[in-house]
Structure 1
């Protein structure tokens, strides 16, 4: 594996220390290191504020909106973001994700809605997926409050994006929204794209990449991945459950599934699952853009010190620009 800057090495080592050898989480230790950032509603470049989506279920979000030139009323696309962490860790306020969403807001030129969905072990499958759909329903009905996003947004150019377990959520939320769109009256919110950043997919089979790269990066190991699946999937389910295994001829892909962007890292132990997923989408006739970073480990995008992390933001911008709606829906 290529050498890493010392700042990245320290952060990945700290994440590793927060896990036991069997993959389980030392939650008290993790909570000490999971530093939070407050919203910045008055920031000059990227404003942020927190909103409540469903108080009864504890679903909320942090909204990031870029500053625009005075008088500019061009509608911006919306990126609904689901953070990673094995369905168990982090929040929209966690420093790595607050920083990442600010970078995406600024670099992609979009309003970013980073969702706080319910976590395991208290809320197993399918709670996270249901919360993702609830966030889209909120936006479809209310849109982004004008006081939080002073620029107009284009709900016909809504993109789902997520990393690791959040990337898994992108697939399943897109599937559910596509089915709802087909069965419901016309919805204002249209999914223009699904951006899966090293999505957390898997199965009972051990792939070659899992065996080779198990110790190549301290962010994700086989033991940690297995623990996350045990915590998330229904009691007694195996990793061949449809939530985890999303590749193969038996997998159903909705007719209205949006164009996809799949980010693959050369040192990611999940990369064989990503390849199989891309093959499945293509066999189903879906549009897929694969963006590969040969030197990247799982979680590289969260470290702005890395050149590949900066390139990823530019690649995401290009994907959004290519697939955003040509018409404007002002709200």
Structure 2
């Protein structure tokens, strides 16, 4: 008979196994890619910065190829990677090529945030790290940002759990001030109605990310409809776009987020963009596909759109 110390409590296969003893086993170690002083295809320069060594919080910055001397400053995009709050990295082979390409196509300066992951660092660690990175970015202390970023055109974006974070940052910016946001892009956002039955993957994953949390319909981290009165109405930004995919298992939750935001009294303009025949974050798994290119162009158009 096995002892309790060896019993599995929760598992997010093939990535993480959590034992009842509290021991955490990461089953898959994701590789990372280094930054580049000049990408041979896009001309984009990238570098890594440490924002808070104590937490720690870091980021990878992407600077598009600019004319010399630069004719004007470019928008600043703060990007939050996905991965269910517990996997992936700003430095991974998934995100580095994607953001390098987005930077080159959109001509924006990108800050890709490396936040702490659950279950070693349960929520709100990812939110706190992301907020620290956002405040650092708009503070303009980095030479690239100071020289090239238009801090009147700051965008937030992310996919899956990163879209959840982008939303939370926009709400916090509206509540606390100090960050002027132009728009937010939520790509295949990870939200929930909080109604998953106990024992389902959704329930297990949330308990992995936020141990001890009850969740349910009243948790605004899961369900944007549960935000405190006026929080959505006061959300920072003038524009928002929600990207959905027809075959995404989170599609209905993302659509519900769009409807909640549209009916919240928020004075910004919110748009819904859906891709037919594709699943969750298909643009990352199939970046060379035609539909991934379409999504990229729509995101580029959003980032380069005129202010209202």
TM-score range, shorter chain: 0.7 to 0.9
Which of the numbers 55, 58, 64 marks the counterpart of 1:57? 55
C-alpha deviation, 1:205, in angstroms: 2.6
Cα distance in 2, alignment partners of residues 231 and 115 from structure 1: 21
Which of the numbers 88, 91, 96 marks the counterpart of 1:90? 88
Moved more, 155-164 or 223-232: 223-232
Give the aligned partner of residue 3 of structure 2. Answer: none
Which of the numbers 228, 236, 240 marks the counterpart of 1:260? 240
Give the aligned partner of residue 119 of structure 1. Answer: 117
C-alpha deviation, 1:144, in angstroms: 3.4
- Structure 1 unpaired stretches of 5+: 1-15, 182-186, 208-221, 326-331
Give the aligned partner of residue 238 of structure 1. Answer: 215
Q: Following superposition, which runs of at least 4 residues in structure 1 exceed 6 angstroms of deviation?
A: 248-251
Cα distance in 2, alignment partners of residues 233 and 20 from structure 1: 14
Tell whether the 8 Å contact from 2:103 to 2:110 is kept in structure 1 after alignment.
yes
Give the aligned partner of residue 7 of structure 1. Answer: none
Give the aligned partner of residue 200 of structure 1. Answer: 190
Query: Secondary structure of 1:95's partner?
Result: coil
Cα distance in 2, alignment partners of residues 131 and 17 from structure 1: 26
Q: Which has the higher strand share?
A: 2
C-alpha deviation, 1:18, in angstroms: 2.1
Give the aligned partner of residue 143 of structure 2. Answer: 145
CA gap of 1:107–1:120, structure 2 versus 1, over 3 A, is same
- Structure 2 unpaired stretches of 5+: 1-11, 19-23
C-alpha deviation, 1:93, in angstroms: 0.7
CA gap of 1:17–1:202, structure 2 versus 1, over 3 A, is closer
C-alpha deviation, 1:91, in angstroms: 0.9
Which of the numbers 64, 75, 83 marks the counterpart of 1:77? 75
Give the aligned partner of residue 39 of structure 1. Answer: 35
Give the aligned partner of residue 211 of structure 1. Answer: none
RMSD over aligned Cα, in angstroms?
2.6
Cα distance in 2, alignment partners of residues 154 and 71 from structure 1: 16
1:1-331 superposed matches below 5 A: 18=14, 28-31=26-29, 34-44=30-40, 45-146=43-144, 152-181=148-177, 187=178, 189-205=179-195, 224-240=201-217, 241-247=219-225, 252-258=231-237, 259-286=239-266, 287-302=269-284, 303-324=286-307
Instruction: Name the TM-score, length of structure 1 as normaliser.
Output: 0.78
C-alpha deviation, 1:234, in angstroms: 4.6
CA gap of 1:48–1:21, structure 2 versus 1, over 3 A, is closer
Per-residue CA deviations over 1:27-58 (Å, capped at 9, x if unaligned) read 64421xx2211111243511110001111100
Q: Which has the higher helix share?
A: 1
| Matched residues, number | 283
Moved more, 160-169 or 275-284: 275-284
Cα distance in 2, alignment partners of residues 150 and 315 from structure 1: 27
Cα distance in 1, alignment partners of residues 184 and 68 from structure 2: 31
